[in-house]
Amino acid sequence: MSNATLYPVPEEFARNALIDQDTYQRLYQASIDDPEQFWAEQAKRIDWMRPFKKVKQTSFDDHNVSIKWYLGGHLNVSANCLDRHLEQRSEQTAIIWEADEPGQARHITYRELHRDVCRFANALKHQGVAQGDVVTLYMPMIPEAAIAMLACSRIGAIHSVVFAGFSPEALAGRILDGRSNVVITADEGLRGGRSTPLKANVDEALTHADIKTVDKVIVVRHTGAEIPWHDHRDRDYAELMAEADDFCPPEPMDSEDPLFILYTSGSTGKPKGILHTTGGYLTYAALTHQYVFDYKDSEVFWCTADIGWITGHTYTIYGPLANGGTTVMFEGVPNYPDVTRMARVIDTHKINILYTAPTAIRAMMAMGDAAMAGADGSSLRLLGSVGEPINPEAWNWYYHTVGKGRCPIVDTWWQTETGATLMTPLPGATPLKPGSAACPFFGVQPALVDNEGNILQGAAEGNLVLLDSWPGQARSIFRDHERFVDTYFRTFKGTYFTGDGARRDEDGYYWITGRVDDVLNVSGHRMGTAEVESALVSHKDVAEAAVVGMPHDLKGQGIYVYVTLNDGIEASESLRQALRQWVRHEIGPIATPDVIQWAPGLPKTRSGKIMRRILRKIAVAEYDGLGDISTLADPGVVEHLINEHKSMT
């Protein structure tokens, strides 16, 4: 694939690009040779209330993992995203909100956003929220969600955004882990014409999990639906805003004070509260937003990610607003009311830069050229992809049909833990290879290691690690630093292990090959096999479950489940449906199993470890490549599983 078609930087794009090839090389080298100097320089894009004393103090030594940037500096994130733009841009649109139903957009200027954030910050204080408190957001993609995030940052509260597609059970787990005492939600969310009862879900989460710590639930009346109301606890957002003052001074925060936690899945156990802090995160978010997307003043930037994910945090909210940009928040889904929705939004709001996920691209591509039929699309200048490997077919369709062959595609590889992009082409500097995340961003030192941890040179394939820190790196897992060290720094000593595999070709381009651990990537959403398994075994009829990924045309990966039922329980189609519903109920629709296979027994080693390798092969009918099965406690189960699989297909 190294000799894949090379797409040179379009001449016109190169002429106006912020970073050309020579500049990339020079700056990259400078960032590696003298990180302190390079990152001190980059921090000038941020307004500091007190200058930092030291740029970087980081260690990946597993006895002493510590990641600190811009030590001693004080700043406020919301002031950087709002106040400092007021002089030049008070009437510029900060957020374009595109509602689920077409034709209902709102434009919010920096002046208005600043006022609303100040008001809500005052309201939060009024409700007793103090610096360092964790505030949980369970909200649809509406401007109030951005206002709530920024208001938290203004007063030094830590936000924990929970994707509104998660179930009450999943929400409860995150509220409990964060020991949050305030939840912000809406009456309902709307996506693709369907509503989700968010407020009722919050009530259910609090009641079922018997959560006593939450004393305030703030509710945005979004659809106006009837909702349950508890006077002692529930507060109406609009009422709080009406009473609040128009100005709230931004709290000077230490560079290493927490900004937010965001839960993400790992290969084992419950989701982890990934902790990001203030100075380094904001600097890195703003810098990558500008250079990766070649962002210029007054351009309209549309990142389609939900704020429930890291992409929504960094590239819908913090990056664009720190740069004084215009960002689009989209409440809906790409195929509602029909597959032309994305094209219509692009034309209506004259989007210059579109950043989306391969799963959305594949869904549009599945409809042939209908998705872009009749669209103008001439405002587009640059396209981006994120969340999962993009297959060359989807890349080509995106490039030719959406970008009309004019727009470079930045395939950005990163993770919740990395805060922002680590590897990507820079659009004015890097010739593109479809499906490759190309090269490291400034200051980023990727390496490939074999399973023993030896660093591989030249063209090679291996486990992807990072050799040194970057400012946007997660600092810890909330209240569980040991798990942080264990998960990321013990596998390959002295490095940060990403959990991904990658290949580097002869030109030095990186190709992400996917997770090498028990984490699935379903439609660009990260899901731990352990989480789905634990949801399944909590069902009364299930004795045991094992989950593996399988290739899926639209989702990238689908969820394939092997289930052992309790003695005396009969397998049936209705039970299969019931288990699918159960997982939706326990985690959310994104975790719905695609295939459930009955398994009277699971292939286990004598020490009881499930051999997922074998299950992955059976799921794709590769019965010959199972490898050595003689070490299994009961090799007979394999034949049984194969027969069952054959009978299903």
d(CA 259, CA 160): 9
29 is in an annotated binding site: no
Binding ligand PRX (rule: CB under 6 A), the pick from 327, 340, 359, 416 is: 416
d(CA 342, CA 205): 34
**Nearest to residue 618, comparing CAs of 556, 565, 546?**
546
Q: Which is nearer to ligand PRX, 38 or 260 (CB)?
A: 260
The span of 25-33, 149-157, 514-522, 620-628 binding ligand PRX (CB under 6 A) equals 514-522
d(CA 589, CA 551): 19
Q: Which is nearer to ligand PRX, 386 or 618 (CB)?
A: 386
Residue type (1 letter), 566: N
446 is in an annotated binding site: no
Residue length of the chain: 649
311 is in an annotated binding site: yes
Q: Which is nearer to ligand PRX, 70 or 509 (CB)?
A: 509
Q: Which is nearer to ligand PRX, 310 or 407 (CB)?
A: 310
556 is in an annotated binding site: no
Q: Which residues, in sequence order, are CB contacts of 616 under 8 Å at separation 6+?
A: 548, 549, 550
Residue 7 Cβ vs ligand PRX, minimum distance, rounded to whole Å: 16
Contact 149, 131 (CB under 8 A): no
**Nearest to residue 419, comparing CAs of 475, 354, 459?**
475
d(CA 169, CA 599): 27
Does position 28 interact with ligand PRX (CB under 6 A)? The reply is no
539 is in an annotated binding site: yes
Number of residues forming the site for ligand PRX (CB under 6 A): 23
Q: Which residues, in sequence order, are CB contacts of 323 under 8 Å at separation 6+?
A: 286, 289, 290, 295
Binding ligand PRX (rule: CB under 6 A), the pick from 512, 532, 536, 610 is: 512
d(CA 300, CA 107): 12
Token output for 230: 């508890």
The span of 242-250, 285-293, 477-485, 496-504 binding ligand PRX (CB under 6 A) equals 496-504
584 is in an annotated binding site: yes
Q: Residues 444-479, buried b or exposed e (16+ Cβ, 10 A)?
A: bbbbbbeeeeeeeeeeeebbbbbebbbbbbbbbbbe
Residue 411 Cβ vs ligand PRX, minimum distance, rounded to whole Å: 5
The span of 113-121, 438-446, 485-493, 511-519 binding ligand PRX (CB under 6 A) equals 511-519
Residue type (1 letter), 439: C
Binding ligand PRX (rule: CB under 6 A), the pick from 500, 505, 531, 586 is: 500
Contact 76, 49 (CB under 8 A): yes
Residue 425 Cβ vs ligand PRX, minimum distance, rounded to whole Å: 11
Residue 449 Cβ vs ligand PRX, minimum distance, rounded to whole Å: 16
Token output for 388: 């999962």
Binding mask 376-415 for ligand PRX (x = CB under 6 A): ----------xxxx---------------------xxxxx
**Nearest to residue 526, comparing CAs of 476, 591, 478, 589?**
591
Is residue 337 reached through a cis peptide bond, with omega within 30 degrees of 0 on the bond before it? yes
600 is in an annotated binding site: no
Token output for 533: 């398994």
Binding mask 281-310 for ligand PRX (x = CB under 6 A): ----------------------------xx
173 is in an annotated binding site: no
Residue nearest ligand PRX (C-beta atom): 416
Please write down the HEC assignment for all residues of 40-59.
HHHHHHCCCCECCCEEEEEE
Q: Which is nearer to ligand PRX, 273 or 387 (CB)?
A: 387
Does position 437 interact with ligand PRX (CB under 6 A)? The reply is yes
Q: Which is nearer to ligand PRX, 264 or 283 (CB)?
A: 264
Q: Which residues, in sequence order, are CB contacts of 159 under 8 Å at separation 6+?
A: 134, 135, 136, 137, 148, 149, 152, 153, 259, 260, 261
Q: Which is nearer to ligand PRX, 303 or 618 (CB)?
A: 303
Does position 116 interact with ligand PRX (CB under 6 A)? The reply is no
Q: How far is CA 609 from CA 25, 97, 275, 612, in A?
A: 47, 49, 31, 9
567 is in an annotated binding site: no
Residue 44 Cβ vs ligand PRX, minimum distance, rounded to whole Å: 26
Residue 218 Cβ vs ligand PRX, minimum distance, rounded to whole Å: 27
304 is in an annotated binding site: no
Binding ligand PRX (rule: CB under 6 A), the pick from 349, 515, 539, 645 is: 515
Q: Which is nearer to ligand PRX, 386 or 444 (CB)?
A: 386
Q: Which is nearer to ligand PRX, 67 or 512 (CB)?
A: 512
Binding ligand PRX (rule: CB under 6 A), the pick from 122, 167, 283, 311 is: 311
Residue 313 Cβ vs ligand PRX, minimum distance, rounded to whole Å: 10
500 is in an annotated binding site: yes
Residue 103 Cβ vs ligand PRX, minimum distance, rounded to whole Å: 30
Contact 419, 310 (CB under 8 A): yes
**353 - beta bridge partners?**
301, 382
Q: Which residues, in sequence order, are CB contacts of 191 under 8 Å at separation 6+?
A: 100, 140, 331, 332, 333, 336
Token output for 545: 């479950």
Contact 322, 80 (CB under 8 A): yes
Residue 380 Cβ vs ligand PRX, minimum distance, rounded to whole Å: 19
Binding mask 251-270 for ligand PRX (x = CB under 6 A): -------------x------
Q: Which is nearer to ligand PRX, 252 or 514 (CB)?
A: 514
Q: Which is nearer to ligand PRX, 124 or 310 (CB)?
A: 310
Phi, psi of 486 (to 5 degrees): -60, -45
475 is in an annotated binding site: no
Q: Which is nearer to ligand PRX, 469 or 557 (CB)?
A: 557
**Nearest to residue 265, comparing CAs of 629, 632, 587?**
587
**253 - beta bridge partners?**
75
523 is in an annotated binding site: yes
Token output for 38: 């390079």
Q: Which is nearer to ligand PRX, 346 or 502 (CB)?
A: 502
According to DSSP, residue 468 is labeled: S
Residues at the interface with ligand PRX (CB under 6 A): 264, 309-311, 386-389, 411-416, 437, 498-500, 512, 514-515, 521, 526
Residues in binding site for ATP? 387-389, 411-416, 500, 515, 526
Binding residues for CoA: 191-194, 311, 335, 523, 584
Binding residues: 191-194, 311, 335, 387-389, 411-416, 500, 515, 523, 526, 537, 539, 542, 584
